[in-house]
């Protein structure tokens, strides 16, 4: 964890740069060396002051080096200047008499016309010993101590891999002796990331040392200094290793092969086989595996894979296949073959209906977010109330929690299209298991679609295909962080202590051989679909790890019944194996434990750094990628280390989409993560690891090969660097009035929900200001998913659905549909559905009274969309719904956004613009150049814009700009103006707000 810097023994104030780095927590660097009263780096010049300039020549390969200089206030030497003399290996020097000057301007050249003038800026140098090395100025004598003495020697290697220093000085004192003059003596470059110095310390047998970069930034071991013995010593990340091997010595060739993979299993489904195995070990690290398959008419086939799971599909029917696995390291050493695993395929399954992602830029597609089970009921036979049906009050309302389904969603896709949306975000589809699991976030069988959502002719695949046929995308909500409290089928499911006595027979169903839970099927003996007979045992099961199995806890239930140990899943009971699940409850939401502990008793926290867990999840979500979904919304993304996302899950998604559908589809497969940052500041309570924008970036440092270790290393490293040292991006911003190609080279693969705008959407102006403030820290904020409220929270972490009023909703929508990012609407908000109602109260109140109420009653009747945002026909209640003022507003916003490319994919700027919510956007590609000026609600003035003809997409007003200025009067709350250069004219018909 982050350690606070200690107070240095130096008594003067720290230099500004050092103070800033120390404040940012840069691995405890202190502002000064560990000795009193040092010589300042720049002194007031006396009449005879001098500067000895050292210049590094190794990277120049010049035959001669000249110093061309001018003392401060003086004249320059005659070109080429003064020939410098050899100083020591790779260095030349020249001593300059400065007279009364306090420094000099300097350039260097080879005497034949090749110059180093600091990129045209010259070098500003002070007095004393000054070094110039590859453009970096430092203050030390790089040749001090290079003479071979007769005393004891200590060779010190210092690592700058973590700090990124481009030079290093060692400031030291032999035991019993004096410290060198600050900043010490220059160290020599040894190899990448390492600096070296051999010191003659006379009769002393050890020394103390501190290190600095020559420009005031120090590492003095948090004030303790570094004890250095004789011989060779390395100092890396505050660890001193005496008697160390030369870290720059030529590496001994790796000839040691990995161990043979163990635990190889193969299982067949239809004509596909999934092979998995335990990770092999190697002295350097395994880079890939070779899977050898024998059997069938093709004989022997060898396939290279990067993970410990291999999906082999398209095999022959009713054929036995045998698999072995070898591990390969970076040197090409190959392990012996594993033990064999055999699987026999079955009959070929009927070919599923084609499912191919639409593969277009996701920024073009506004998103409509539905809780599938609460949207529209197309098939009442799959409705299920569950164990809390009566207690919740749902039974009294004839409103089972699982009510909406895929059939109902398919039937109302035209409603969503008529609103103008071309992407639908649905809640998780995997089989869930808990007492109240309609929302989908209590996954139990990640490889199975929940039957309570499917119907004959309305499978998940049918939904995907139906949406694609209408030009609409499906974004699947996915969970990598946790399973249900009953574990994950196919990975691990716990057994709890239970007894069917006079107290508990109502709770524990009798066991029925051959019955398997699927959420839908009613178990015949108990007559319940929420059958739990497979989860409990009175006898201690084989291999039980739960502590104090079946012993009374001493407590009582709410009914007064005896409670027993191991009666309920818990992370601290020992019930869940460490190989698959974490073993703790969360304590600090901004600490490391928020990524490695359970969030809630219904959310069993996966050990996502475990290879079996990674394989289980990757294999599961490959299934849905193969079905043709267009993207994943990632639940609880912040609770998994970024390095795990970047190493394992995000590459697996990209590789699978590429393998199935090609590189263009992979580029546009939209992944957006929920990083819950429920505060109004740019960085979530100052914790970079828990801030949304952090997850949009690749790693910038190598960590340990072990994922558990790497997660801690990554957290500590980035936490210590702090907010001031995070990467920044201009990808969302115009350069003046010009669009520029974004640099996505450091993009992690995960986009984000714009939590900061979400939290501030109590007021549109506030959301706009906060959004702009965060955009430079996001890899590309034009991909941010922007919404006002959701199934979890309203603005400012409100527990109720947004109730700011219709005018405020119209204003929020006008901003979302024109500002950068992807506008997203939670189902029903188009009619202010359930405004002000508590979003979620669990089973303690009926769903009908919450923000997750059933919406289908507002969709009764029929509707056909002729295009996005256009209704061809509608009848019944849904026609009334479509006539509401916000619906009309939403439809026209979608029409305008679709007609102006700059509003979809453009970068933006507020430079040269006055106005509260005013900005300009541009997108340029090929023959398309779309430039738009936008103001929401208030008036604005745009200066420095290109001359030409601008047409307002709202009113059709035409303005001719010849002086680079366009002024717009305030259109009114919820209204806006979109002046488009060479634009298409007025788009759509006037409505209640846009007019």
Cα 226 from Cα 33, distance rounded (Å)? 12
pLDDT at residue 354, rounded to an integer:
58
612-668 per-position pLDDT tens digit: 999 999 999 999 999 999 999 999 999 999 999 999 999 999 999 999 999 999 999
Which of 412, 405, 409 is CA-nearest to residue 382?
A: 405
Q: Are strands 218-219 and 785-786 parallel, antiparallel or unpaired?
A: unpaired
Percentage with pLDDT > 70 across the chain: 93
**How deeply is 574 buried, as exposed, middle or buried, from its count of CB atoms within 10 A (0-12, 13-18, 19+)?**
middle
Query: Angle at Cα 154 formed by Cα 148 and Cα 159, nearest 5°?
Result: 115
Sequence-distant (6+) residues with CB within 8 A of 252 are none
Phi and psi at 594, nearest 5°, equal -70, -15
Give pLDDT, residue 21: 25
pLDDT-based confidence at residue 149 (cuts at 50, 70, 90): low
Give the SS3 label for residue 638: helix
- Proportion of the chain above pLDDT 90, given as a percent: 73
CA-wise closest residue to 170 among 196, 200, 138? 196
Looking at residue 847, the DSSP 8-state letter turns out to be G
Mean pLDDT (the chain) is 90
- What lies within 8 Å, CB to CB, of 418 at 6+ separation is 863, 864, 865, 869, 870, 871, 874, 882, 891
User: Could you read off the pLDDT of 375-397 as tens digits, one per residue?
Assistant: 999 999 899 998 899 999 999 99
Q: Burial letters for 629-665: b for 16+ Cβ neighbours within 10 Å, e otherwise?
A: bbbbbbbbbbbbbbbbbbbbbbbbbbbbbeebbeeeb
Is the model more confident about 718 or about 63?
A: 718
Structure tokens at 645: 């996302």
Residue 864 or 101, more confident: 864
As a dihedral over the C-alpha atoms of residue 329, residue 332, residue 335, residue 341, rounded to 10 degrees, the angle is 90
- Evaluate if residue 38 carries a pLDDT over 70: no
Q: Are strands 604-605 and 562-564 parallel, antiparallel or unpaired?
A: unpaired
**CA count, 13 A, side-chain hemisphere, 954:** 24
Give the side-chain half-sphere CA count within 13 A for 497. Answer: 21
Residue 848 exposure: Cα atoms within 13 Å on the Cβ side? 12
pLDDT band, residue 964 (cuts 50/70/90): very high
Q: Cα-flanking dihedrals φ and ψ of residue 973, to 5°?
A: -60, 130
Q: For the residues 218-246, what does the mean pLDDT come to?
A: 92
Give which of 44, 665, 590 is closest to 361, Cα–Cα: 665
Cα dihedral across residues 118, 119, 122, 126: positive or negative: negative
- What is the pairing mode between strands 536-537 and 496-497? parallel
Structure tokens at 133: 């090395």
Report how far residue 941's alpha carbon sits from residue 270's, in angstroms, rounded to the nearest whole number.
Answer: 66
Average pLDDT over residues 161-176: 87
Q: Which of 198-212, 249-263, 414-428 has the lowest mean pLDDT?
A: 249-263
Tokens of 611: 């290879």
Q: Considering only 5-14, 29-38, 241-250, 400-409, which range has the smallest mean pLDDT?
A: 5-14
User: Number of helices (H) and strands (E), helices first, in the chain?
Assistant: 16, 54
Residue 233, pLDDT score: 95
| Cα distance between residue 414 and residue 410, in whole Å | 8
**What does the pLDDT read at residue 148?**
52
Task: Kindly report which listed range (184-198, 848-862, 902-916) carries the lowest average pLDDT score.
Answer: 184-198
- Report DSSP letters for 25-75, one per residue: TSTT-BSS-SSSSPPPSS----TTEEEEEEEE-TTT--S--EEEEEETTSP
CB 21 within 8 A of CB 155: no
Confidence of residue 844 (pLDDT cuts 50, 70, 90): very high
pLDDT score, position 147: 58
pLDDT at 12: 24
Residue 43 has pLDDT above 60, yes or no: no
For residue 788, count CB atoms less than 10 angstroms from its CB and return exposed for 0-12, middle for 13-18, buried for 19 or more: buried
Grade residue 164 by pLDDT with cuts at 50, 70 and 90. confident
Question: Can you spell out the DSSP letters for 286-304?
Answer: EEEEEEEEE-STT--EEEE
Q: What distance in Å separates the CA atoms of residue 687 and residue 503, rounded to the nearest whole number?
A: 48
Of the candidates 802, 816, 840, 805, which has an alpha carbon nearest to the alpha carbon of residue 371? 840
Q: How far apart are CA 458 and CA 452, in angstroms?
A: 11
pLDDT digits (tens, 9 = 90+) for 408-424: 999 999 999 999 999 99
Q: With b meaning 16 or more CB within 10 Å and e meaning fewer, what string describes 859-876? A: beeebebeebbebeebee
Nearest in space to 114 (alpha carbons), one of 162, 60, 50, 155: 60
**Residue 14 to residue 930: CA distance in whole angstroms:** 51
Q: What pLDDT was estimated at residue 46?
A: 40
Position 142 scores a pLDDT of: 83
pLDDT at 35 over 50: no
Q: What Rg do the C-alpha atoms of the chain give, in angstroms? A: 34
User: Is a pLDDT exceeding 60 seen at residue 13?
Assistant: no
Q: Which of 101-110, 192-201, 246-255, 842-851 has the highest mean pLDDT?
A: 842-851
For 462-494, write each residue's pLDDT tens digit. Answer: 999 999 999 999 999 999 999 999 999 999 999
Can you list the pairs that 911-916 forms with residues at least 24 positions away whose Cβ atoms lie under 8 Å?
A: 911/734, 911/736, 911/944, 912/942, 912/943, 912/944, 912/945, 913/940, 913/941, 913/942, 913/943, 914/940, 914/941, 915/939, 915/940, 915/941, 915/968, 916/765, 916/768
């Amino acid at each position: 964890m982050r350690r606070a810097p200690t107070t240095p023994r130096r008594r003067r104030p720290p230099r500004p740069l050092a103070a800033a780095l120390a404040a940012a927590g840069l691995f405890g660097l202190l502002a000064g060396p560990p000795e009193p009263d040092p010589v300042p780096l720049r002194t007031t010049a006396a009449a005879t002051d001098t500067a000895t300039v050292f210049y590094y020549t190794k990277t120049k390969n010049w035959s001669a080096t000249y110093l061309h200089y001018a003392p401060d206030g003086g004249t320059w030497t005659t070109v080429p200047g003064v020939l410098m003399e050899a100083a020591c290996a790779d260095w030349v020097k020249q001593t300059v008499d400065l007279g009364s000057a306090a420094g000099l301007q300097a350039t260097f050249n080879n005497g034949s016309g090749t110059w180093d003038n600091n990129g045209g800026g010259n070098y500003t140098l002070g007095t004393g010993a000054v070094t110039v090395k590859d453009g970096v100025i430092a203050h030390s004598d790089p040749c001090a101590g290079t003479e071979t003495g007769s005393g004891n020697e200590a060779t010190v290697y210092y690592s700058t891999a973590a700090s990124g220093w481009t030079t290093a000085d060692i400031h030291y004192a032999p035991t019993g002796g004096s410290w060198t003059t600050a900043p010490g003596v220059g160290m020599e470059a040894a190899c990448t990331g390492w600096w070296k110095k051999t010191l003659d310390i006379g009769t002393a047998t050890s020394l103390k040392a501190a290190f600095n970069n020559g420009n005031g930034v120090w590492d003095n071991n948090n004030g303790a200094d570094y004890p250095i013995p004789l011989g060779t010593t390395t100092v890396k990340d505050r660890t001193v290793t005496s008697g160390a091997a030369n870290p720059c010595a030529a590496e001994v060739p790796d000839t040691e092969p990995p161990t043979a993979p163990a635990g190889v299993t193969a299982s067949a489904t239809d004509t596909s086989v999934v092979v998995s195995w335990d990770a092999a070990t190697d002295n350097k690290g395994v880079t890939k595996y070779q899977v050898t398959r024998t059997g069938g008419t093709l004989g022997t086939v060898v396939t290279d894979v990067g993970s410990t799971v291999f999906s082999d599909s398209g095999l022959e029917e009713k054929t036995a296949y045998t698999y072995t696995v070898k591990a390969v390291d970076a040197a090409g050493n190959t392990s012996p073959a594993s033990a064999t695993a055999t699987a026999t395929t079955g009959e070929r399954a009927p070919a599923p209906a084609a499912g191919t992602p639409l593969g277009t830029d996701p920024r073009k597609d506004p998103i409509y977010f539905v809780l599938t089970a609460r949207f529209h009921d197309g098939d009442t036979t799959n409705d299920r109330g569950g164990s809390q049906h009566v207690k919740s009050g749902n039974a009294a309302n004839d409103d089972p929690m699982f009510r909406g389904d895929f059939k109902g969603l398919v039937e109302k896709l035209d409603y969503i299209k008529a609103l103008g949306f071309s992407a639908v975000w649905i809640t998780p589809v995997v089989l869930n298991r808990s007492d109240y699991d309609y929302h989908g976030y209590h996954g139990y069988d990640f490889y199975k679609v929940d039957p309570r959502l499917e119907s004959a002719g309305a499978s998940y695949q049918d939904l995907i295909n139906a949406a694609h046929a209408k030009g609409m995308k499906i974004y699947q909500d996915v969970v990598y962080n946790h399973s249900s409290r009953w574990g994950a089928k196919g990975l691990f499911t716990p057994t709890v202590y239970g007894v069917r006595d006079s107290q508990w027979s109502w709770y524990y169903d009798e066991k029925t051989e051959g019955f398997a839970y699927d959420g839908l099927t009613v178990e015949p003996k108990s007559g319940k679909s929420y059958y739990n007979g497979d989860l409990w045992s009175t006898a201690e099961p084989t291999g039980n790890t739960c502590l104090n199995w079946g012993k009374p806890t001493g407590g009582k239930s709410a009914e007064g019944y005896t409670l027993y140990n191991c009666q309920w899943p818990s992370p601290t009971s020992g019930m869940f194996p460490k190989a698959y699940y974490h073993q703790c409850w969360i304590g600090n939401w901004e600490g490391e434990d928020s990524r490695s502990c359970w969030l809630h008793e219904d959310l069993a926290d996966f050990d996502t750094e475990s290879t079996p867990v990674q394989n289980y999840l990757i294999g599961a979500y490959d299934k849905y990628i193969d079905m043709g979904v267009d993207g994943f919304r990632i639940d609880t993304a912040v609770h998994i280390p970024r390095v795990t996302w970047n190493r394992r899950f995000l590459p697996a998604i990209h590789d699978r989409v590429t393998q199935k559908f090609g590189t263009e589809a992979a580029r546009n497969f939209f992944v957006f993560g929920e990083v819950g940052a429920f505060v109004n500041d740019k960085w979530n309570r100052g914790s970079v690891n828990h801030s949304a924008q952090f997850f949009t970036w690749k790693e910038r440092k190598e960590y340990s090969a072990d994922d558990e270790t790497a997660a801690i290393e990554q957290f500590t490293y980035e936490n210590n660097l702090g907010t001031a040292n995070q990467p920044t991006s201009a990808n969302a911003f115009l350069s003046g009035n010009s669009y520029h190609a974004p640099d996505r080279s450091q993009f992690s693969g995960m986009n984000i929900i714009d939590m900061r705008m979400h939290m501030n959407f109590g007021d549109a102006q506030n959301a706009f200001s906060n959004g702009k403030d965060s955009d430079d820290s996001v890899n590309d904020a034009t991909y941010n998913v922007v919404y006002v409220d959701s199934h979890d929270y309203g603005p400012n972490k409100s527990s109720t659905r947004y109730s700011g009023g219709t005018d405020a909703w119209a204003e929020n929508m006008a901003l979302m549909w024109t500002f950068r990012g992807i506008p997203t609407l939670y189902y029903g908000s188009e009619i202010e559905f359930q405004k002000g109602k508590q979003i979620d109260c669990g089973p303690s109140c009926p769903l009908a009274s919450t923000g997750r109420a059933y919406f289908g009653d507002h969709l009764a009747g029929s509707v056909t969309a002729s295009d996005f945002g256009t209704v061809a026909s509608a009848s019944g209640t849904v026609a009334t719904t479509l006539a509401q003022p916000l619906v009309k507003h939403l439809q026209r916003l979608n029409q305008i956004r679709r007609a102006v490319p700059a509003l979809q994919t453009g970068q933006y700027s507020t430079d040269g613009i006055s106005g509260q919510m005013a900005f300009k956007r541009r997108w340029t590609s090929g023959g398309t150049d779309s430039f738009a000026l936008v103001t929401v609600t208030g008036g604005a003035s745009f200066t420095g814009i290109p001359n030409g003809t601008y047409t307002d997409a709202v009113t059709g007003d035409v303005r001719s700009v010849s002086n680079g200025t366009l002024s717009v009067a305030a259109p009114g709350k919820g209204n806006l103006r979109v002046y488009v250069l060479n634009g298409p004219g007025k788009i759509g018909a006037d409505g209640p707000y846009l007019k």
